[in-house]
Amino acid sequence: MREHPWRRGRPGAASMREVQVEETPHRRIELPPIADPAPLGLAAFALTTFLLSAKNAGWTDGGNAWLGYAFAYGGLGQLLAGMWEFRNRNVFGATAFSTYGAFWIGLGLYALLAEAASPNALNDLAFILLAFAIFNTYMLLWSTRTTVATFMVFLWLELTEVVLFIGFFSDSESIIKAGGVVGVVTAIVAWYTSAAGVVNGMAGRQVLKVGGPIWRD
């Protein structure tokens, strides 16, 4: 008795299936765009910078009001904005927000866990700010490829970090206070850039001016 062909595995069926698979068109799945995370990151940076700078300038009479916000807003808020910038394939925004989010978290941890036990906390803070000023220098250069507003944020931040690390290295109260004042200006510029990002994104046009790139190809 001859065995029916389909019981023997149907010769040629496998090759037919392979052909069918090969002929199936590839489907490209495109994820919907997300909202611009930069205004959030800038607002988080601005508020936390303002609180710490007001303390450095000697304007506050309380304690470390900036500390909680260094974790919750300046730290976590910016870190989230940085991760969303990775999703947007914005390498500049991702690097900037992630780094300064980590900066605020690290500074908060230092203030909580290490500052009291340090033999020279001012020297510690000076080296921390020096290190971030080095990072900020090349980000300042690359910010010229974004907008004038973003460039101004990094320019004032550079001045803040330089003045503060000089003040901490020299243990000069007047220079530290000057650095605090410059830091407040930095916060105001960052708030403006954040506000522009929000309203311009809502309107779909430039309501608040931010300028174009300074460095053009």
Structure confidence at residue 16 (pLDDT) = 40
Record the pTM.
0.85
Asked whether the predicted pLDDT for residue 70 surpasses 90, the reply is yes
Instruction: Tell me the average pLDDT of the chain.
Output: 90
Residue 61 backbone phi and psi in degrees, to 5: -110, -5
Structure confidence at residue 25 (pLDDT) = 61
Condensed to tens digits (0 to 9), the pLDDT of residues 136-182 reads 999 999 999 999 999 999 999 999 999 999 999 999 999 999 999 99
Using the Cα atoms of residue 99, residue 72, residue 50 and residue 58 in order, give the sign of their dihedral.
Answer: negative
Condensed to tens digits (0 to 9), the pLDDT of residues 12-26 reads 444 444 444 455 567
